[in-house]
Amino acid sequence: MNSEIDIIDIAKTVLEGNNEGAYTVPSRKLYPHQWLWDSCFIAIGLSHYDNERAQIEILSLIKGQWHNGMIPHIIFKPGEKHKGDKDIWRSWTNPNAPDDVDTSGITQPPMLAEAIVKIGEKLPIGEKLTWYRKVLPALIKYHQWLYSERDPHNEGLVLLIHPWESGLDNTPPWMAELRSHQLPIWVRAVVKTKLTWIIERFRRDTRSVPVAERPSTEEALGLYSVQRRLRRKNYDIDKTLRHGMFAIEDLTFNCLLIRANQHLKEIARSLKHELNDELVESIGKTELALEQLWDPMTKQYYSRDFITHELLKEPSIAGLMPLYAGTISKDRAKILVKSLENKHLFGPNYPIPTTPLNSAWFYEKGYWQGATWINTNWLIIDGLRRLGFKTHVGALNEATIELISKSGMNEYFSPINGEPAGSDNFSWTAALIIDLIENNK
Ligand code: 9WN
């Protein structure tokens, strides 16, 4: 077991090892580029001891912003080495793609405002306002894009077009949708004829991480095929929606957006900047629309299909994210907290598993299908703190710090025995454990 001081030192070493100068890679082994929500979590950790680097991390993200306002989920490392990755995306076929940076063609959870505020909180007032002034135009453009492009019916709920945009790639509700509607014939044929072993030989991710800890080959092919279809439509939202492809109002994403909007309003207020009426109206709608994702029968929140408005009733950690949104009633929050306390749902030895233990999808080292991740713990702890669940915050903080102290800075962990899984030296684990320890003092 390491002491808290040791953990912070180890975490800083991980973040140094993954430092690329303008940004931090999530992991040297698996993810050699800059990822959107990773960088936001990373900046939150960095802000405790190197605020300048935290700001640089965020500015590098903003450099990848599309002309229409989208912040892309990946910004590719410049140079020839990873040319293959950029070529898979070919996002330059969309006229909105930035001119001097290569990026993916989709987005990821809107953690940007949270990172901006966490950086601001550690600066003296004058520097904080200078920082806010530097980033506010990009932040407004980003939130406007989320509504103008991803909320075409003005419902207040933003839709996603690829499971990767949820950040919880192969989480059960998305995978159930993928299996029932979206798997092309060639993927079904490969799976049916048990030819997945051929594909496995070409998988890069399973060279450093056991295949059982990554998305299954069927899932990986499914994710890839959706990406190919989006590429064929040049990442154009109208063409994408017209062709009846994936469109899901994702619960986690919209909960994070609710919180991000609150931060955006606060940043604008501190600069005496008035947000335009349309944006303010959409922000208000999102807070109200969360209620439409509540199912009174099962007493849970779910994601929803954009077209049919059917709730995707597969329990997952997303069901707890309204705690982070922070806008639900205390009674509702208590219902969610009950499932956190339940050892057979979200409360095993090393919480919080990404699916409840009684889910048919649960596997202790399952990628977003059971394993405990530090970013989802961080989000839920942050929400519980704001909602006043002091004892739960204390217990979850302690359990998370104990887990890292015992098992190291891995990507995710078994919620049953705490064993590490996925990549080692994972950046957001390192960054967020620094934040949790500092907030716990
Ligand atoms: C695809 C970088 C990212 C995280 C995601 C996580 C995983 C990528 C992948 O890694 O996704 O975006 O290749 O599997 O699911 O949350 O941002 O760490």
Ligand 1 pocket, residues with Cβ under 6 angstroms: 26, 31, 35, 37-38, 73, 164, 167, 169
Of the pLDDT bands very low, low, confident and very high (cuts 50, 70, 90), residue 190 is confident
Of the pLDDT bands very low, low, confident and very high (cuts 50, 70, 90), residue 187 is confident
Residue 380: partners with Cβ closer than 8 Å, 6 or more residues away: 320, 321, 323, 324, 340, 352, 396
Give me the pLDDT at residue 196, please: 75
Which residue's CA is the nearest one to ligand 1's atom 12?
A: 164
**Residues 11/434, Cβ–Cβ less than 8 Å:** yes
**Residues 34/102, Cβ–Cβ less than 8 Å:** no
CA of 174 to the centre of ligand 1 (A): 15
d(CA 281, CA 298): 31
Q: Which two tokens stand for residue 382?
A: 């942050």
Where does residue 21 rank: exposed (0-12), middle (13-18), buried (19+ CB within 10 A)?
exposed
Give me the pLDDT at residue 5, please: 85
228-287 pLDDT tens trace: 999 999 999 999 999 877 899 999 999 999 999 999 999 999 999 999 999 999 999 999
Give me the pLDDT at residue 244, please: 75
287-311 pLDDT tens trace: 999 999 999 999 999 999 999 999 9
Atom of ligand 1 nearest to the CA of 411: 18
Which is more confident, 424 or 244? 424
Residue 20 has pLDDT above 90, yes or no: yes
**Residue 248: cis peptide before it, omega within 30 degrees of 0:** no
94-119 pLDDT tens trace: 999 999 999 999 999 999 999 999 99
The structure's pTM equals: 0.97
Beta-bridged to residue 372, according to DSSP, are 353, 413
Q: Can you tell me the mean pLDDT for 159-171?
A: 98
Q: In angstroms, what is the C-alpha Rg of the chain?
A: 20
Q: Which residue out of 57, 102, 149, 169 is catalytically annotated?
A: 169
Atom of ligand 1 nearest to the CA of 26: 18
CA of 391 to the centre of ligand 1 (A): 32
Q: Can you tell me the mean pLDDT for 25-39?
A: 97
**Residues 121/200, Cβ–Cβ less than 8 Å:** no
Atom of ligand 1 nearest to the CA of 38: 17
Sheet of 311-312: strands edge to edge? 248-249, 303-305, 311-312
Q: What's the mean per-residue pLDDT of the chain?
A: 95
Short-list 272, 264, 274, CA closest to 138: 264
CA atoms within 13 A on the CB side of 317: 31
Beta-bridged to residue 304, according to DSSP, are 249, 311
Which residue's CA is the nearest one to ligand 1's atom 10?
A: 31
Where does residue 172 rank: exposed (0-12), middle (13-18), buried (19+ CB within 10 A)?
buried
Which is more confident, 46 or 206? 46
